[in-house]
Structures are given as C-alpha cells and as structure tokens.
Structure 1
C-alpha cells in the first residue's frame, strides 16, 4: 500500500536549509508573510524592540537591502522603497501634507508630478502653486503663510533648466518650509540634496539607479525621523509596496551604476557637441555647455557633472519629428530615461501631452523638441544615428515647406 504520509506533510513549511557558507548574490525573498514564534515576539517586532518582518506590504528584505544601498549613496537614513517613482512622490506629499496646507512645485516638474500637483492634491484640500525654480524671486512670491513644502527637481524635465538650489534651500530654512528634491535626473553621482539643505529626497529608481528598463520602483528618504514615519505609514496603508523581484533587479543594476553613469555622461557631452554642429538643429540643451541658459549655476552646483540627459530642438515641426525617429529604427523611441541604451523621447506626444500647445510653447517644448537619455553605446554609433535622423528631418521639413 502507498505510504500517504509524505503527501500529508507536503504543505508544511520546512524553512531554508542550514549552511556554513552564504550566498554571494542576494537571495530573492518573495514571501508575502513571515512567521513569528509567539504573540510576545510579534508585539516586540511591531514595537521596534527586535528586528523582523511581518507582512510584505509593511516591508521585506529585498526592499531593505536596496534602500540601505541608496541611503549610502544619498547620505540618508531609513529610506523607503516604493512601487514606482510616482509612488515615492505621492508618499512624501500625502504623508506630510494636510488639508489647508500649501505646496509650491517647480513649473517644469515631471508630467505626472505636475498632474498630481494641479489636478489631484486640491481634491484633498491641499492648495498648490507652480513657480520657476530658476528664479528665487518667483519662488518667494509664491509663498503663503500656509506653505509647508516646496518640491523641485535639480535639473528640470525635459528642458534641463537648473534650479537655484542654494537660494531655495536658504529660503526654506528661513521660512521653516520643507524642501523636497526629486533627484532622479542628477542622481547622487552629481548632487546630494541632503548635503545642501533638503529635507526629503525622492528617486524614480526605475531610471538611472536600476538602469535596465526592467524594474519599476521609487525611493523616498526624509531627514527627520518623524517625517520618515509619516511617509512610511502612508505608503504601507495605501499599499505602495515594491515587488521583491524588482528590488532584486534594481540592486543588481546598482552595482554598475557608477560605471554606467560616467560612460553615459561622457557620451552625452560628445553627442551634445555633435548635434550642435548639425544643420537642421535649432538648439541644444546640456548643462555644462557654455550656451546653456543656466551654465554658470550648473557649473557651481554640479561641477563637471553634466549628466546623461540632453535635449535639442529641430528646425521643423511634427513632420520633421516623425521623419527623424523613423530614420533611426534601431534607437528606442520610448518615453523613459536611464536605460543602459540610449532612448529618445518626444515630450509633446508623451510626458507633456496633457499640456495645451500654448503652455508647451511657453515652456520651450515645441513639436520639434526631443529629450535624449544617452546610454553606454559607442559614441560613433550614436553620432551616425543622429546624423541620419536629423538629415531625414531636414529633408522632411524642406518637402513640407
């Protein structure tokens, strides 16, 4: 007769095998729930008297491993990994702002951050204003008695304007306003907001930190432990939980972050110079170029760290834009950034499509405006691609004219 006992015990959790050696690579821990020995031990975990995990929505090992690594890069403590960059923005704003508070945002924030500011926060009684972060007088004029937070990006998306971070940090300190900095573009390789007076640092880990377009994650850290707890409590309550597998992928990507960043930055510097030499290109925006509108501030704030992002504008409109992307089929035309390969984005049809044409034009975003997230390819390959693309755009513009 068949022994049924092995089948009766099959569903029992047996734990991990003992070993005198340890894994070199971080294991993936997908468990949703964690078992404790007793109610007393569970109480001790929730009270913070002992370290442990309870339920993955409240934290898990892969998220903590990744958070501690980014903490080290940013000079932070207790950073939190979330399910996306926008989840990190949401956790910071909704965790710290109350009905009746007022927040000022940079007027060229990422498109979804702008939507959150202009269309969502007011539904919860939080007032918002947008102001030019390159103009400290404009930021100061937007402050109200109830202003609690200012949210800015060091380098704006997609026009690469450089915020007056020194002036904004000084103003926040004087007025006791929280300064939240989205450091996704610059990364701690170029700028560490906590070293310059920021209270909150936010990342879309999806981008340069993870670096391979295969993990969707965010990160948020606060200087004040009470703020950390408020952000954590909101994120856990609303389920802004990261996937263990995505955390594992991002940790793996992070090991090559410095190498990728430096290579892509050098490529971006050379590609910016190449684009500026091509007929059919109206303007090129790259922070360390002398013709950048915030060049002096960029050099003072970032030094030689121009980053991997650059933008440029074709002479033509939508027809020229279509012709250029079609002439470069091997280069990814996709609304993202930070991948190990170069990606090309057209803000008018993606990140800023919700803005009116007039509003886009006011921000310098025309139908011929493109943003490039430069990757780690051979620079000669990128130069050939863009030479062909710009030539096709120029021909399309002449045909349309």
Structure 2
C-alpha cells in the first residue's frame, strides 16, 4: 500500500456498530466486562482506547513499523525511551539537539546516574570512540534542530547493531512522508506528533514506532504504568490531520525550497541552513535517506545583534513569531531565547545556534505572499 493510501486508511475500519467511516471518538474512561478479564482488549483508557489504537496503528504503518504508541507529548515519548535505561548507563547523542531533549537529558536523567555524550554526528565514525560497555542508547535527530545537519541513519545503525546498542531517531523534522528510519536500521522512531503529523497547530502529542515485539512490550509497560497517554479527542484530531499529510508535506517542501533559494541570495542573510543545497555538508546523505528536503529553513542575519534580530523577527505579517513548527501556517522562531533557551550559551554557539539565527517553519500559504513577507521584514 502506497503512502497516500496508508495516510487515509491505515489502522481504520468502519465502526462495527454504526458503519461510520471515520473512527469515532470513544470518549470513555472504562469498559464493560462480561466477567473479570473478558474485556475485548479494553479495560481502562489510560492503557487502551479504540480511537488512540486506530491512530497508533496508522502512524506505525506510515513508518513501516509493526507497533506504534501515542503519548501526550513528544517529551512524554522521549521520557518513555529514557525510562528503559538504568543508573550507570550511557547515551550517545548529537551536539545540535532540540532544547527540550537536551533539558530532559541533562536536568532530569543525569540526576539518576545516566551519562550523556554530546557529539558531532556528521560522520558515523565519530561515535565509535565514545562507545563503551555502558553505552545502551544512541539518540539522533535528522535533520537537526535548528541547523539542519543531516545524520547518516544507516551508517550509525550499523555501528549500533555491531555493538548491541539501541538506536532511536527523532524523525520530527522529516515526518514519515520524507524519511523512514526503521527501514534504515533504527530500533525506535520518535515523533513530536504536534508538528507535521498533526499539522494544524491544535494538538500536542508524541509517538514511538518499533518493530521488535519485546521492545514494544517494554515501552508499552512504561506507557501504561506512567500514564503519559493522550485522550480520544486529540487522537481523533491527529487521525484527521494525517489524511492530508502527503498533500501538506508536498506543499511544505515546494515552499521550503523556494524560500531557501530566495534567502540564499538576500543581502541581509549571512547563511541559509537547508539540506537541499548541494553545498550542504551532508547533502548526498540527505538525498539518499530522504525523499525531499522538507519545509524547515534556518538563517543567520548578516551583521545583526540580538536587538536587530528581535526587530526583524517581530516585523513579519504572514509568518507568525511563535514556538513549534510543522503546521499549515508559517512560523518564525528565535531558538536562543525560545526552543533552545535551556542549552548553555557556549554549547549553543559551538554548533552555530547564535543570537542572530532565526528558524523558519515554512507553511503552505501562497508562496508569493511568503516571499513578500520575507522581503518586507528584511527590508
């Protein structure tokens, strides 16, 4: 089954009671049992809910995975993976990382004896020298947030498998439309479903996808025991959003490419971060593991300090200055004070997350209006 068909149909059957084509919102906390244990698979909605199950099966199908789990946020999904670790375990991850991931790694899990190594992952071989007997997890995101670095999933997967280490890929920026890490050897795929998968800036949700049954059972135990699961209304909204994922992503990619090329030639822009440029350090890897280059573009402003950057960021009329990304509307974000504010200044600047950097989530509006907005804001 091709992607567009899976987006519309995967995990969803007509309602057996009414024949409703769209999965109903099962707004219930508990379920009738004929006798103790005779529950048709549903006992209590923290653990299982039919609307959420349809969504989980749909997202798993989009990622070419056997199992999916939905969480109340992307950080809830991230937390569930980290709960598989024990004191003394070590994690290898990137030095260009979403601020929320950095925060939970360093402010929450380091306190429990988990050690994190933040490395330049542009080349898989950089990982090998950091591996030791305590290394249990490699966590990567690609493209990275916000400098759009590309990490070689297949290359790192080979190293992980050779050393008996789990590989988790944060696939939020690409979405399953552009990239399927399970096919490239990842053990776990994580999504902030809030972003492209839901796509309309009206839901907060996360997801994990896996192929291994034992790993799924371990994650499901955390999911059920700790309870960071979404309700049926949010699950319904995401199912509805997924039905246009392929159409939205095509438009995001088309607009993203045009915005990136426009900004590359703008006199007030010092650098454009976008993996579609042949000059991008890992452009060839991006071409190999992605189907297109996405709608995320970051820029640094030429000769701009913090005050000038704030002034420009506040001038946009179509782009909205806001946190998050991946919705149908275009957003602009200042990472050092917004999404990456929890990362120390020295660590941010080392990887290029400077005060004059802006991150654009290019939406699906008319491209002429987006270009005109960029032109007036940068004037």
Q: Say yes or no: TM over 0.5.
A: yes
3-state DSSP class of the match of 2:168?
strand
Distance 1:79 1:130 in 2: 28
Is residue 331 from structure 1 mapped to residue 308 from structure 2 by the alignment?
A: no
Q: Structure 2 residue aligned with 1:134, among 122, 131, 135?
A: 122
How much has 1:21 moved relative to structure 2?
A: 4.7
Q: Structure 2 residue aligned with 1:65, among 44, 51, 54?
A: 54
Distance 1:327 1:127 in 2: 42
Instruction: Indicate the residue corresponding to 2:30 in structure 1.
Output: 33
Is residue 276 from structure 1 mapped to residue 264 from structure 2 by the alignment?
A: yes
Kindly indicate whether the alpha-carbon contact (under 8 Å) linking 1:342 and 1:375 is maintained by their aligned counterparts in 2. Answer: yes
With structure 1 as the length reference, what TM-score do the two structures score? 0.88
Q: List 4+ stretches of structure 1 deviating above 6 A.
A: none
Structure 1, unmatched stretches of 5+, are 1-17, 43-50, 392-401
Instruction: Indicate the residue corresponding to 2:162 in structure 1.
Output: 174
Kindly indicate whether the alpha-carbon contact (under 8 Å) linking 1:314 and 1:320 is maintained by their aligned counterparts in 2. Answer: no
Distance 2:328 2:225 in 1: 34
Q: Structure 1 residue aligned with 2:104, among 116, 119, 122?
A: 116
Q: CA RMSD in A?
A: 1.6
3-state DSSP class of the match of 2:96?
coil
How much has 1:334 moved relative to structure 2?
A: 0.6
Kindly indicate whether the alpha-carbon contact (under 8 Å) linking 1:62 and 1:247 is maintained by their aligned counterparts in 2. Answer: yes
3-state DSSP class of the match of 2:224?
helix
**Bigger Cα Rg:** 1
How much has 1:19 moved relative to structure 2?
A: 8.9
Distance 1:133 1:348 in 2: 21
Is residue 77 from structure 1 mapped to residue 74 from structure 2 by the alignment?
A: no
3-state DSSP class of the match of 1:152?
strand
Q: Which moved more, 1:72-81 or 1:122-131?
A: 122-131
* More relative contact order, 1 or 2 (CA 8 Å, 6+ apart): 2
Q: How many residues align?
A: 364
3-state DSSP class of the match of 2:67?
coil
Q: Cα distance 1:278–1:30, how it changes in 2: closer, same or farther (>3 A)?
A: same
Kindly indicate whether the alpha-carbon contact (under 8 Å) linking 1:200 and 1:222 is maintained by their aligned counterparts in 2. Answer: yes
Q: Structure 2 residue aligned with 1:87, among 57, 76, 79?
A: 76
How much has 1:180 moved relative to structure 2?
A: 0.7
3-state DSSP class of the match of 2:340?
coil
How much has 1:325 moved relative to structure 2?
A: 2.2
3-state DSSP class of the match of 2:148?
coil
Structure richer in helix, relative to its length: 1
Map 1:257-296 to 2 at 5 A.
257-296=245-284
Distance 2:37 2:254 in 1: 56
How much has 1:119 moved relative to structure 2?
A: 2.1
Instruction: Indicate the residue corresponding to 1:311 in structure 2.
Output: 298
Kindly indicate whether the alpha-carbon contact (under 8 Å) linking 1:101 and 1:127 is maintained by their aligned counterparts in 2. Answer: yes
Instruction: Indicate the residue corresponding to 2:45 in structure 1.
Output: 56
How much has 1:357 moved relative to structure 2?
A: 2.5
Q: What are the Cα deviations for residues 180-209 of structure 1, in whole angstroms up to 9, with x where unaligned? A: 111111111111111111111111111000
3-state DSSP class of the match of 1:354?
coil
